[in-house]
Amino acid sequence: MRLFDAHCHLQDRRIAAVAPQLIRVALDSGVQRFVVNGVSEEDWHIVKQMGDDYPSIVPCFGLHPWFIVERSPNWFNSLKEFLVDTPAAAVGEIGLHKGAHGKLTDFSDQVDVFKQQLELAKVLEKPVSVHCVGAFAELLDIMSQNFHQSWISLKVDLHTGWKLAFKFTNLSCTGPFKAGVILHSYIGSAELVPRLAKLGSYFSFSGHLTSMKPEKAKKVVQSVPKDRILIETDAPDGLLRLKTDHLFSIPDVPITELEEQSGGSVPQPASLSREGLNHPANIHSVLNYVATLLEMPEELLAELSFQNASRLFSYPGSKVGCDG
């Protein structure tokens, strides 16, 4: 089986030091691609470097709602520059959050930041990975509405490498989003699926799905069109809440080995506990759970989700071919 992890965070400081080992183990297990999502200005350069270093990594840049308070005045221009300078990149992780963590930021501020990034993804014709907790009504409204903005951006001519300046005036950001909107770790209702799918949404399932009662989870996954199903790990988060003997643990690496890998600069203490953290190779457990809910053979779901992700991430400049 070949697998495509549609959303993870290998740059996360909790696992960044062992990312090379995690990638190797996952590749050996059949995971051919990893979509690594940046969440703030502080980690975009790390994600870009990972994308440069590993053919298997699809980099993404975005400002997550948890980190909008920390953004710089130039954050949006910086985001555009990262995306223009990295043709292989998509947009994400962006979104809306009304949970406990989201209360630390003003929701109207979240909406403003989200709209700007959603519009940018549409302008650049890139898929966008969206985080949504407790705000699906607002998400649906935003994806369905018209909002306009005039701004100047840069685009790279992929044939010549030259950067071309151009202006968008009265740009409409109405759906459907033809390049695709990935609703990552989807745990919304089954009833919303048809309306979100009509607007261009894909539905990515992770271990977070096990926070739902099995009956509800089954209803949700079975409501999704087969050509819109993705699977992910959301590593280092998203660990399945089910008892299983098949989960990979995060390896502890001796400090000397970390120093050799990092040129003497260790990104985190080697003694840091990694218990409870997720690993991209654990996508096999997600595959097993979702396939069970769909009453579908694992091999069929693996290939189906791989083809869906390959099609979604096969935009101009991407590393991914639409044939997988």
Q: How many Cβ atoms from other residues are within 10 Å of residue 192's Cβ? A: 19
Q: Closest Cα partner for 185 from 117, 148, 254, 237?
A: 237
Task: State which residues of the chain have pLDDT below 70.
Answer: 100-103, 146-175, 243-275, 322-324
Phi, psi of 202 (to 5 degrees): -110, 155
State residue 244's pLDDT score: 61
Give the CB-side neighbour count of residue 307, counting CA atoms within 13 A.
Answer: 8
CA 323 to chain centre: 21
State residue 146's pLDDT score: 62
**pTM of the prediction?**
0.86
What is the C-alpha end-to-end distance of the chain, expressed in Å?
13
Annotated binding site: 7, 9, 93, 131, 184, 234
State residue 21's pLDDT score: 93
State residue 81's pLDDT score: 96
Write down the residue that tokens 């109207």 correspond to: 108
CA 72 to chain centre: 22
State residue 101's pLDDT score: 64
Annotated binding site for a divalent metal cation: 7, 9, 93, 131, 184, 234
